[in-house]
Amino acid sequence: MKAQKYIRYADDFVIFSAERDYLLCILPLISDFLRKRLILELHPKKVSINTSASGIDFLGWIHFPDYRIPRHATIRRMWKRIIDDFSKETFASYRGLLSHGNTFGLQNDLSNFTWLFHDTRKSII
């Protein structure tokens, strides 16, 4: 379809365009391609055309045309996991996850928490 801005993961995808008419035009083409070539159908309740000003919620992130931030539920789940079961592997995993979006402040908070956690643990032991 030659879409310039899109996100795809497995059989889920989001296409960004400033032109609503363009999206309405390619929707039947996409549906036809999926049906004929991949034997897939678009779920009628999961197809929508929205403005991107408020972001598109997709795979744990809120996507905007030029950047992405983690969904609030993703951040809450991250902090709960880190507090309940802190390990180097968990920390490294979340650092890797956060590297894929605009999360500079959150990465700093995570680093500061790690130092605080280690300092507290040393004083207890």
Task: Write out pLDDT tens, residues 52-110.
Answer: 777 888 888 998 878 899 999 999 998 898 888 778 888 888 889 899 999 998 888 88
pTM recorded for the entire structure:
0.64
pLDDT-above-70 percentage for the chain = 90
Cβ 68 vs Cβ 100: under 8 Å: yes
pLDDT band at 117 (very low <50, low <70, confident <90, very high): low
Whether residue 25 contacts residue 61, with contact meaning beta carbons closer than 8 Å, is answered with: no
The whole-number pLDDT of residue 16 equals 83
User: Could you give the CA distance from residue 91 to residue 22 in angstroms, rounded to a whole number?
Assistant: 42
Average pLDDT, the chain: 84
pLDDT at position 122 is 45
